[in-house]
Amino acid sequence: MKLTLKVWRQKNATAAGRFESYEANDVSPDMSLLELLDVVNEQLVNKGEEPVAFDHDCREGICGACSMVINGHAHGSDRGTTTCQVHMRRFTNGDTVVLEPWRAKPFPLVRDLMVDRSSFDRIIASGGFVSVNTGGAPDANALPIGKVDADHAFDAAACIGCGACVAACKNASAMLFVAAKVGHLASLPQGQPERDARAVNMIMTMDREGFGACTNTYDCEAACPKEISVDFIGALNRDYRKALSSTR
């Protein structure tokens, strides 16, 4: 089939950006969107033009690198899908596909469709861990954890840190990202000693990095490729309030 790609081009964070249109012929329905971009880039290089820069690595939906707003939706309109898993069979001959980067102040643009998500790393560094040094951990089975709790923790831990929740949110809030990490560790006994401090510190860092507030529109959940539930945001708010009231 034949598709038109309308792609955001911007040389660096300070340069002016614009949309450019590229035609793609002979598109196979089995191609992934990134493979289509590979083909388009090949055409650009052939013409001596610079290819479209975009983040990608594993191309199997787990590393969290790929990050595009596809026709207005973070990672495209399919549920539970990363950009790299969008296949061209989702489109029909003659379609125009619009590709934009994540747009959020705490994610400054690097080039074209690539943004800087190091603010997420800084949020994790401020509390997204259990403080245990290597060595001296008790036997793994010394701490039984019910399957229901373990599964619940996993549902939150599945977050790949891609930032789609922020890109989808009109306020560029990172609440789902923070809630996923806080919720993962709050569901486990290992996470209890630092539970209060973790919630407070991660939210403070989130605010400092310039992410917006949550107004419960749940676009984050709809965009999340790992389908992490907004229930974790509710739990985070409870933890945060409780932590503030019990701060010693």
Partner 1 sequence: MKLDARIPSGPLAQKWSSFKGSMKLVNPANKRKYRIIVVGTGLAGASAAASLAELGYQVDAFCFQDSPRRAHSIAAQGGINAAKNYPNDGDSVWRLFYDTVKGGDFRAREANVHRLAEVSTAIIDQCVAQGVPFAREYGGLLDNRSFGGAQVSRTFYARGQTGQQLLLGAYSALERQVGLGKVKMHARTEMLDVVVDNGRAVGIVVRDLTTGVISTHAGDAVVLGTGGYSNVFFLSTNAKGCNVTATWRAHKRGAGFANPCYTQIHPTCIPASGDHQSKLTLMSESLRNDGRVWVPQTKGDVRRPDQIPEAERDYYLERRYPSFGNLAPRDISSRAAKLVCDSGLGVGPGGRGVYLDLADAIKRLGHKTIEERYGNLLAMYGKITDENSYEVPMRIYPAPHYTMGGLWVDYSLMSTVPGLFVIGEANFSDHGANRLGASALMQGLADGYFVLPPTLSDWLAQAGPSSASTGTAAFTTTVQQVNEHTNKMLAVKGHRSPELLHRELGNIMWNKCGMGRTAAGLQEAMREIKDLRGRFWQELRVTGDGACMNTQLEHAGRLADFLEFAELMCRDALEREESCGGHFREEYQTEEGEAQRNDKDFCHAAVWEHRGANQPALRHREELTFDNVHLATRSYK
Give the footprint of partner 1 on residues 167-226 (CB under 8 A). 184-185, 188, 190-191
Residue with Cβ nearer partner 1 (17 or 217): 17
Of residues 29, 35, 90, the one with CA closest to residue 60: 35
Question: Counting contacts by CB under 8 A, is residue 99 touching partner 1?
Answer: no
Residue 248 binds to partner 1 (criterion: CB under 8 A):
no
The minimum distance between CB 216 and partner 1, in angstroms, equals 27
Between the alpha carbon of residue 69 and those of residues 43, 47, 111, 168, the distances in Å are 22, 26, 15, 9
Please say which residue, 63 or 243, places its beta carbon nearer to partner 1: 63
Per CB under 8 A, the list member of 2, 4, 23, 89 interacting with partner 1 is 89
Q: Please report how close the Cβ of residue 64 comes to partner 1 at its closest, in angstroms.
A: 6
Residue 133 dihedral angles phi and psi, to the nearest 5°: -80, 160
Could you tell me if 152 and 47 are in contact, meaning their C-beta atoms sit under 8 angstroms apart? no
Q: What are the tokens at 193?
A: 């000693």
* Partners of 73 in the β-ladder: 70
β-strands 96-100, 3-9: how paired? parallel
Q: Of the candidates 1, 124, 197, 200, which one interacts with partner 1 according to CB under 8 A?
A: 124
Q: How far is the CB of 86 from partner 1 (least distance, A)?
A: 9
Binding status of residue 101 toward partner 1 by CB under 8 A: no
| Binding flag, residue 229, partner 1 (CB under 8 A) | no
- The Cβ of residue 142 has, within 10 Å, a number of other Cβ atoms equal to 7
Candidates 98-106, 118-126, 214-222, 235-243: pick the segment binding partner 1 (CB under 8 A): 118-126
Q: Binder to partner 1 among 6, 17, 53, 243 (CB under 8 A)?
A: 53
Helices (H) and strands (E) in the chain, counts: 8, 7
**Separation of alpha carbons 180 and 120, rounded Å:** 12
Decide whether 55 or 219 has the Cβ nearer to partner 1: 55
Which residues 22-51 are close enough to bind partner 1 by CB under 8 A? 28, 30-32, 34-36, 38-39, 41-42, 44-46, 48-51
Residue 227 binds partner 1, judged by CB under 8 A: no
Residues sharing a CB contact under 8 Å with residue 242, sequence separation 6 or more, in sequence order: 196
Please report, in angstroms and rounded to a whole number, the separation of the first and last CA atoms in the chain: 64
